[in-house]
Structure 1
Amino acid sequence: MNRKQFLRVVYVGLATIILLGIINSNSVMGQRGINLSTLRSTSLSKHNTYRSTHHSPNMTLSSSLNNSAQSWANHLASNGIFQHSKTN
């Protein structure tokens, strides 16, 4: 590959990255907040469907576990970190 071909590939790649960034930022900005209750129940349903393929019993939602997880997620987001909690 000569220099001209190389630069063409680089420019096309950069243009693609920029275009995808613009598209993604526009689609994210147009989104509304998620319905957490729907997300939780849908996720649990999908997970239980998978568990059933292994003959495992269904899991159920736990308000206390959801509250604990949400509290930790809020802590991570507000501090700009990503790590496991130290609690069981």
Structure 2
Amino acid sequence: MKVEFSNNVQTTSVGRNGAIKTTGVFVSAVNFAPDPNRHVMSLSPCTSRGYMANCDIDVPMADVPDFIQALQDMLANYHHSQELKALV
């Protein structure tokens, strides 16, 4: 699954060969069967040309709920800080 950044935003990912213009993230499930401890969610940058960059972050499936919770907490903190800035 490809998650593209909204409003054509480009960010930068850094790999061993330098900076990569990034327009989204590829999210996939990878099962290194038969070992269920090696089933992972894999995140890979999507380049400005629409290709998957040669970079992965693998999160064990058992830890995906904690990963999602951390993202939700970060987003809530971000929204809270933006609300505080609006009051100043």
Using the size of structure 1 for normalisation, the TM-score is 0.30
Specify the structure having the higher radius of gyration (Cα). Answer: 1
Normalized per residue, the structure richer in strand is 2
More helix, by proportion: 1
